[in-house]
Amino acid sequence: MQPEFLFDFGSPNAYLAHLIIPAIEKRTGARFKYVPILLGGVFRLTNNKSPVESFAGIKNKLEFQRAEMQRFIKRHRITAFKMNPFFPVNTLQLMRGAVAAELEGVFEPYVDAMFRYMWAEARKMDDPEVIRASLNEAGLPADTLLHRIQEDGVKQRLLQTTQQAVERGVFGSPSFFVGKELFFGKDQLRDVEEEIMQQERAA
């Protein structure tokens, strides 16, 4: 049983999901596979937009989303969250970096560190100097990773996971697959957990 978590560092809700996933793994025994996708690419391929853009002209909707995010943070006693003042941050380099980190065998510490710098420390993570300093601070091989994100293979791989995600039904972030079942948004994490339990029982 390996549920999938399709993420882009640019999505605050993906970060919040990332914080909750360890507890779900503990309760279910399942281990999530993290799949880096480029949200901008998903939006282009599906003609979708970020909530901030889609809901901009709609009274009450963004206010509700903000209140709901605060409730989620409170419910899960999350202390390490700060809205990023540079939002929206272009995450192309960061996401290619996730692919490179996978090839270099440092995927997990990379993902954890980048999420933290984006949404707990609210850094400007599309600035090459900030990326380099952050990689160094996290003890990750900055030179190697920044070199590898220029590789065609790395660029193609990110394009591929993004296209495949859209072919499987994805339209935004965070998205989750439990088997073939797609779930969308941090608010569906309980459904994700129930589906894992159910598929485990059925197996």
Interface characters, 154-193, with its own copies (x: CB under 8 A): ------------x--xxx---------xx-x--xx-xx--
Query: Which of the stretches 53-61, 99-107, 110-118, 137-145 binds its own copies when contact is defined by CB under 8 A?
Result: 53-61
Q: Which residues contact 194 (CB under 8 A, 6 or more apart)?
A: none
Task: Name residue 184's beta-bridge partners.
Answer: 175
Q: Which residues contact 80 (CB under 8 A, 6 or more apart)?
A: 19, 116, 119, 120
In the set 2, 54, 150, 156, which binds its own copies (CB under 8 A)? Answer: 54
- Give yes or no for residue 61 binding its own copies (CB under 8 A): yes
In the set 23, 52, 58, 80, which binds its own copies (CB under 8 A)? Answer: 58
* 40 within 8 A of 76, measured Cβ to Cβ: no
- Give yes or no for residue 25 binding its own copies (CB under 8 A): no
In the set 63, 108, 137, 143, which binds its own copies (CB under 8 A)? Answer: 63
Q: Which is nearer to its own copies, 110 or 183 (CB)?
A: 183
> What Å distances lie between residue 144 and 107, 130, 140, 148, 163, CA to CA?
13, 16, 9, 6, 26
Q: Which residues contact 120 (CB under 8 A, 6 or more apart)?
A: 80, 81, 82
C-alpha count within 13 angstroms, C-beta hemisphere, residue 175: 24
Binding residues for its own copies restricted to 82-121, rule: CB under 8 A: none
Report residue 159 as tokens: 């394009």
Nearest distance, CB of residue 171 and its own copies, angstroms: 4
Contacts with its own copies, residue ranges (CB under 8 A):
45-48, 54, 57-61, 63-64, 67, 71, 75, 166, 169-171, 181-182, 184, 187-188, 190-191, 194
